Structure 1
Amino acid sequence: MYEIILAGQRLIVLGKADLIENMNIPSSTKTNYPNRWPNTEGFVEYGFDGVGVGFNNVHKSWNYNRQFFSQALMTPSFNYQAIEWTNELWNEMESYWNNLGEDYEIDLIKWMRRFTNEMIFRISTGVKNDALASYYNKITLENNNINPLNEFVESLETYIEGIIYFFAFSKFIRHYLPFIRGKVKKLLKNKDYLFNKLYTIVKERRNEIEKTPLDQPLRHDMLTSYITANTPRDINVMKHADADLLRPMTDKEIFGNILDAMIGGTDTTSNLFCFIILMN
């Protein structure tokens, strides 16, 4: 455990497993760490205002979202499909590498980010966004018509890279200091695009489910799990007795959990894969 001072804030960084485990106890009466992340006005402006799990300091909301996030991941059929999709995607990426030849220098981080994004996008939404195929076509100049869904990859990367601006800089610096102001405007514009895209995905899937006959099974992915939770079409095996967990999820809550999955499943996972590969 150590501490750093960043942007005038004292931050304690935990590196001990039992401390991290205690910090994530669901009960608000048993934890000494009710605030897991500094809730600054910059984070609120950037969209981290009581949604999802990772940046949510509203304990009741955090506990509600955490239950459904865990529930979606523990569904057996969901886990089977996730493993199957991951294997298929890796084989697809290997085929592109083979086509490029042994002498081609591979930018591993770019490939891994697209691999992890396409993987988490499909796991989260059930939709294949062809991020790998689009990147392959781009570098081989075979097809410059990029799938619109693939723009999501670059938008998400930009969003993640922009977090530090809204954490480290005050509102005055972000909006009035030259150079920083222009960058922040671009980040906020990108945020609007990304958020609108996610909300559109949620609404379109909700409409699909509503139009699906009751006798027709629904596919298993995180988005479907969230939308159907505590509804007549509920695909989740685990049921809750707590009254606070018996209501359906709102679009904003679903959006927050999907955004958490996208952020955690793209950047962090791709960095881990690159580290493992480079160490071997």
Structure 2
Amino acid sequence: MIHTVRDETGCNPQLRKQVETILNEVASLVGEVTRLDMPACAVYRIITPETWLKESTEVLRRALARDIEDLKPGPDAQAAARDSIEKFIGMAELAWPMVAGHTVMTDDGSAETHLVPEALHHTGVMSDSQYLYQVVAHELVHHLQTAAKTFNWATAMPQLRGTANHAVQHLVEGHARWADQLVTHQLLGAPVNYDLTPRSDLYQQRAEHDVIKKTRSGPSPYVVGAQFVTAAIAEFGLDTFNRIWPNPELIPLASELADPGIWHKRVASA
């Protein structure tokens, strides 16, 4: 796999070198652990908060444009989706210091990872190199997931796409968390727990904002998703689990997360 790390801020050459070094160390392990094919190239961009917000917004607007073209929704559905995007923009303006890494799908269907140096400091990732290992490995898993998929599950209209009841975020983040734990354990001697990073005062303040608290209510998709992935792979095997990626119908339903056996009964007949 070729990887490209670009410092688009022009003032973070050391971070660029760190990410390049870590990618060289984790890439083969990520492939071995997940048994997913590496993409031809993995792009990591080091960008400003302003660029992060602009890029994140454009990803949603591209998804909405695809939805309108594919689904031909009525004006009410389009208005509701646009309202959701505007709410996301407001949330993202608050949340960027809390996002250690963000992997998105580009126009050509490939993945790229966005890293904001200020956010890496606010999240505590830069307090210890082990946390940067976890973030880089975690985001690389998303590149492999994207390459393995034969469909695009980014949508502003999950109800019309038929994915509203599917635990998409739990799947992709839980799978990446499951993998990054195995990778960091092999490389560093113990799995790294990102949840233990020392967060900045700004991070803590934003976490208490009503808008952010609403989006983070309930159990973490990372934790619940990783529990599902760990149990499903342990009981049914990695090859069975990896059938998910080319087939969106096999994505677990929210109701199946607590009992992978129910999910397996459904996918076994698919």
| TM-score, length-scaled by structure 1 | 0.26
Larger radius of gyration, structure 1 or 2?
1
Q: Which has the higher strand share?
A: 2
Q: Which has the higher contact order (CA 8 A, sep 6+)?
A: 1
| TM-score, length-scaled by structure 2 | 0.27
